[in-house]
Amino acid sequence: MLRFLFLIALTVTACADPCEQVAQTICDCEDSDAERLSCLSEVDAAKAISSPSDEQLAACDAVIAAGSCTCDALTRGDRAACGVTEQP
């Protein structure tokens, strides 16, 4: 089962745009499998509604290049490290 999940994750990451890759990183930081699956479902739902703009893709590329989006950063509450900002 673990190998199957690894192959799915590898396939998703290989075909994913930069923002999907950041979202995957964020979801991977969830505490339980159920929370990870819920997070991934939310990502899929958001992806079905709209696609990221070129500006958003560039911002996600910058987050990936910086390597700042980590579980440690999220645990500290540093959501900006993953490019997540609060909406007004």
Q: How many domains does the chain have?
A: 1
Residue 87 belongs to a domain: no
Find the farthest-apart pair of alpha carbons in the chain and give their distance in angstroms, rounded: 41
Residue 41 belongs to a domain: yes
Contact 69, 22 (CB under 8 A): yes
Band of residue 41 on the pLDDT scale cut at 50, 70, 90: very high
Band of residue 86 on the pLDDT scale cut at 50, 70, 90: low
Q: How confident is the model over 51-66, as pLDDT tens digits?
A: 889 999 999 999 999 9
Arithmetic mean of pLDDT over the chain: 82
Residue 7 belongs to a domain: yes
Q: What global pTM score does this model have?
A: 0.76
Name the one residue in this structure whose structure tokens are 């999907």: 20
Residue 30 belongs to a domain: yes
- Dihedral, CA atoms, 74, 67, 55, 24, nearest 10 degrees? -60
Range of the domain at 27: 2-82
Residue 25 belongs to a domain: yes
Band of residue 87 on the pLDDT scale cut at 50, 70, 90: low
Mean pLDDT in residue range 35-42: 93
